[in-house]
Structure formats: C-alpha cells, structure tokens
Amino acid sequence: EAQVTQNPRYLITVTGKKLTVTCSQNMNHEYMSWYRQDPGLGLRQIYYSMNVEVTDKGDVPEGYKVSRKEKRNFPLILESPSPNQTSLYFCASSLSGRSTGNTIYFGEGSWLTVV
C-alpha cells in the first residue's frame, strides 16, 4: 500500500530538548515536504526536497532543519524546540517536484507539544 509514514504521531517535549520527527514514503517519490498546521493559518510549508541531497526552505523554516540522505526518508529536526513550535506537522511526497501534474500524498500527521 502506498503511504507516507510519520513518527511519532504524538509527542510532548520540553523547551530546548532536540527532537526528530521521521518521515518515510514507499513510493520512490523524488519530492518530499514538511508542513505545519496551526489554527486559523492553514498549512504552511516548512522545508521541501526535490531529491536526495537537495533541500530548500519553504515559507516558515526558522527553527527547523531537514536532511535527505536517502530517497525514502525526510526527517524534520528541531534542534532547540520552543513553545511556538507546538503544532500539527504533516509530511508529504510526490513523484516529482518538477511537474505540476503529480499528486501529493500526505502522512497522517504528528502532534507536537513543546512545554
């Protein structure tokens, strides 16, 4: 079954404690992306990756890092989480980022609370 898998699904952490949210897709997709969703603000893109070792900032990259060492994985790293990063996070992937016709698939989301 084609899917995008995120872990953890739910996490409560403390300010300043580094954490990583993993994302994996089994569709051999080139393009992967991270979004955060906050009440009243819709989904906003954090980072995206066109392919292995190719990443770029989205609209709200501050406080986040990503890496793309393998095609299937695209972890989101919060080096020093702060309460304003409390949010619902979604990972997404599509076959290619160079064609507007590809469908994007989303993971089920990761609830992150920073206290």
Partner 1 sequence: DAKTTQPPSMDCAEGRAANLPCNHSTISGNEYVYWYRQIHSQGPQYIIHGLKNNETNEMASLIITEDRKSSTLILPHATLRDTAVYYCIVRVVGGHNFNKFYFGSGTKLNVKP
| Contacts to partner 1 by CB under 8 A | 4, 31, 33, 35, 37, 40, 42-45, 48, 50, 56, 58, 88, 90, 92, 94, 97-101, 103-109, 111
Burial-class residue 108 by CB neighbours within 10 Å (0-12, 13-18, 19+): exposed
> Rounded distance, CA 22 to CA 5, Å?
8
> Which SS3 state, helix, strand or coil, does residue 83 take?
helix
* Residue closer to partner 1 (CB basis): 42 or 69: 42
* Residue closer to partner 1 (CB basis): 69 or 99: 99
**Cβ 100 to partner 1 shortest distance, Å:** 4
